[in-house]
Amino acid sequence: MNKAVVIFSGGQDSTTCLVQALTQFDEVHAITYDYGQRHRQEIEIAQTLAKKLGVKAHKVMDVTLLNELAVSSLTRDDIPVSHELGENGLPNSFVPGRNILFLTLAGIYAYQVGAKTLITGVCETDFSGYPDCRDEFVKSMNSSLALGMDYKLEIKTPLMWLNKAETWAMADHYQALELVRDESLTCYNGIVGSGCGDCPACVLRANGLQDYLDDKTKVMEDYLSKV
């Protein structure tokens, strides 16, 4: 049996990946990380969507241990807690390597349920500045997980080279544009679907949707040419 694990936040990107996976695999598992998000609602939305879409199992993992690794939590005398940016351009409450941890845990989960495919919606196109979302890193991590568990695991990143408009085309291609638009949560202010309309995530999402709707034929062609 063809099994996959999808790293699933309930946002536009991972919901689109989950919808696609459900058409391609016999059994799909979703894993959602709870690291003390501003909105507990995010977890509930992921649970509702996963159930509605018909995953085999949905694992919600508490990864609040990440917060223990923020510089400001290390309880060391010589590093003052600060919200100003450090030399690396990031606040000292920033925890790097979050996605390394997420892939590691999802990889272990995949091994345990016998899935040979691990799917994540990370993307270089809307480049977030996180090095652990880059293609080069994901390929290296794929090798590390396969070696470290002696297990033929393949990490797939269906959105890696898509822009936001093309991600909407992908959702449409899988007959899920309305579902993603109305039931996924990207908004920093916790508003499902169309969102608050003001936060950066809402603006990016709305602009992508508008770009797709403005020229569906061309954007769909662009999407299909990349897959």
107 binds a second copy (CB under 8 A): yes
d(CA 61, CA 8): 11
109 binds a second copy (CB under 8 A): yes
Give 55 or 187: the residue with its C-beta nearer to a second copy: 55
User: In this chain, which stretch among 44-52, 74-82, 115-123, 158-166 interacts with a second copy, using CB under 8 A?
Assistant: 74-82
Beta strands in the chain (DSSP E): 3-7, 27-34, 57-62, 117-119, 154-156
145 binds a second copy (CB under 8 A): yes
Size of the site for a second copy (CB under 8 A): 44
- Closest approach of a second copy to the CB of residue 205, in Å: 26
d(CA 217, CA 114): 39
190 is in an annotated binding site: no
Classify residue 126 as left (phi > 0), alpha (psi -120 to 50) or beta: beta
Cβ count within 10 A of residue 119:
27
151 binds a second copy (CB under 8 A): yes
d(CA 50, CA 17): 12
C-alpha torsion sign, points 145, 19, 172, 12: negative
Give residues in contact with a second copy (CB under 8 A).
56-57, 59, 61-63, 65, 68-71, 74-76, 79, 95-97, 99-101, 104-105, 107-109, 111-113, 131-132, 134, 136-137, 140-141, 143-145, 147-151
Provide the annotated binding site for ATP. Answer: 8-18
